[in-house]
Structure 1
């Protein structure tokens, strides 16, 4: 936590009770994903860096949201009576110091912007600070009417005059004030509007009526955009991906075609990693320095160590660790497997639930048969093993160090160290039979 004022504790109230109605989804809005992570998780990550305490307001029967919010406390808004009403459900957690109200469907606010919000709140004589933006298309956002740097009021688009609609400073909805004062203002908000709801933005009117200075902190639209539809979710995804790509390149990663690479929020790439076009990173990926991720590869839940080469057209699944200098080539799928330093699986192979030693070579078309329809079983391959093409390794099975498995073999028993294993039927050649068989088929074809 990096609150600007260690002597004043700060609490963030995260409003996450919204349904996915406008998204035509049975999933709550807070659980819609951006860069592989629920929107609420993005907001928790940034808010937890700035605020001493977090509390999450959810709706009834939102167990998945409550689980995501853990270990932070959760309160339930049993009736959806507006944003001010939702914030009041967390009143018992306000404590002393400052309180900020944030929104789960406004998830891309950076910790730097939240820090600036608190700093503005601590400026002399400022009683209320809010976040505002100047979007390229102001549209139906509420307008922030300010004079000499101080906010006079927020006008909803429907109520705004043509002159007020021409104002490009728009309200992002986030407010921050002293806990005791905020509590009083929230209790004084009325619901005398068309929807009969208690709106958080009315707190600004309460503050101005009290003669309190209200300051607007401006931030980029990409941080403050609200997400209420699938289209807005896609726009936010594009903005977040652009941010993640820029951060990766600033940290020393080469993206050959940045716009074609898609990251997860937790993707970790070291300097001097090379990522070719059309690569997708799922959750839980770490790639170490010098590694290359070639085109059309997909990675999730895995670690790629130094100088390894992945792809093109490779898939690394959860539980996989690729060793230093190892190679995973085209149309190779690896799941829950350790590939040792310098080991290779270059073509058309499935490796599941396996441990493969250093400098072993897995031939094209090799399959570890890890599932018997009921249970998963492990394949263990030692160092410097050569597995020929189209080998079928039926787990559980172990192949010793420096062993060789002949191409086309079906291996059902352990192979000792230094041994050569053949697991295929004896070949028989029938003289002239090939020619005669072709002649018979050709005659059948010509006669219809």
Structure 2
């Protein structure tokens, strides 16, 4: 008998269920967990085992499921009629050689670790193996009844269990591994003489035992790891479990989190030393933090780089942005795609930027919109300033050279350039380039009419 590790591994992922309890038009396995579909989590972990092939059995919403995972190297298998888990596995078996090991996973059980999958495959070295776990309250779950030698004697459904069997806390997760040739034979003998009229994968246990073969068990120590997602409550539970798992791994690697229970990573995070992340922060896509970075509460960073010593204050949103060393952002700032803050730059409260370079030491502190713009070194932009970058059909660029001062409530109508060291008076509407070191004021001269208010009242 070949050792399981020497046999090619084929993974079969069952993802054909309709998920009616989700009460959604979206196929259940496509509901997001940490920003990725449930099924994607299972596929990615399975691919990490280096299998010969991964076969995904789909049914409900098959076109959407295939489209959502079009970039992953899997074999798609359609289950035209949902006739049970045993029938689903049978649909994939024609593409699997008899000398392979088969690992059966579920597209709605997203938190299974690679180590657990490996242990289950190893347990199936000389026959079938099931994955079990112990529950504090096993009510409603099938109980795993073992022989004196520790092998699995049978799986008893809760409704069919005796009082002694109901006292057993070890339950069946539904995940299984077996040599492909024998699994093929057992499934061919499965019947559907049950209330649902379906062919159950769990019947393999009884069939193997009737052939005189042992059925082994691998145990998942953490019940959360093997919890299925059948409704939105369970989806939320899985989300928090996954996020907490990530948070613990990141903290062990040195990341400072104020509260691991209020942290969400929906992508990847690379970070340096002494980084601190406050509560309610959401990181999406690829986020990179340098040394000594501080992220304030309830901020969202998406595909963003934050360099050493930068501070992102509360309620800031940054997407496809680059925040330079020692820069300060927020609170309540929005950095849209293409924003680049150079070292020591400052973008303050209620400022929005887009495709903008804010030069070293430059400041845009309050209530401004800077879009399609390039600011040089040590530029000061006053409150209420707008770069008018869109003329109704095309975008145009604004350039503000080193040391310029832009007075509050100014409008810079692009394309336009402000020369180095130039000043714009408050309320200026700039439509032409300015000379360096010049003062430009476009507001009308102030005029006061004495007694006007009194006469109006009379």
TM-score, scaled relative to structure 2: 0.87
2:377, 2:124 → 1: CA distance? 62
1:189, 1:359 → 2: CA distance? 73
Q: Which blocks of at least 5 consecutive residues in structure 1 are unaligned?
A: 371-377
Q: Give the C-alpha shift of residue 416 in structure 1.
A: 4.6
SS of residue matched to 1:174: strand
Comparing 214-223 with 61-70, which one deviates more in the overlay?
A: 61-70
- 1:339 pairs with 2:338: no
Q: Give the C-alpha shift of residue 218 in structure 1.
A: 1.0
2:203, 2:54 → 1: CA distance? 23
- 1:98 pairs with 2:119: no
Aligned to 2:34: 35
Q: 1:115 aligns with which of 91, 113, 118?
A: 118
Q: 1:393 aligns with which of 375, 383, 387?
A: 387
Deviations 1:307-339 (A, max 9, x none): 21111121112x222222221111100110222
1:280, 1:440 → 2: CA distance? 59
Aligned to 2:171: 170
2:377, 2:207 → 1: CA distance? 73
Q: Give the C-alpha shift of residue 109 in structure 1.
A: 0.1
- 1:222 pairs with 2:224: yes
SS of residue matched to 2:330: strand
Contact 2:267 2:286 in 1 (8 A): no
Q: Give the C-alpha shift of residue 299 in structure 1.
A: 1.9
Deviations 1:133-168 (A, max 9, x none): 112321211111112321011112222222212110
SS of residue matched to 2:417: coil
SS of residue matched to 1:75: strand
Aligned to 1:182: 183
Q: Which blocks of at least 5 consecutive residues in structure 2 are unaligned?
A: 390-395, 430-441
Aligned to 1:415: 417
Change (3 A) 1:65 1:286: farther
Q: Give the C-alpha shift of residue 265 in structure 1.
A: 4.7
Q: Give the C-alpha shift of residue 349 in structure 1.
A: 0.2
Aligned residues: 426
Deviations 1:40-63 (A, max 9, x none): 111112111114121111115422
Aligned to 1:72: 74
Contact 1:251 1:270 in 2 (8 A): no
Question: CA-atom RMSD, angstroms?
Answer: 2.2
TM-score, scaled relative to structure 1: 0.89
Aligned to 1:231: 233
Aligned to 1:213: 214
- 1:128 pairs with 2:94: no
Deviations 1:350-394 (A, max 9, x none): 0123233333222311103x5xxxxxxx33333443322221012
Q: Give the C-alpha shift of residue 427 in structure 1.
A: 5.2
SS of residue matched to 1:331: coil
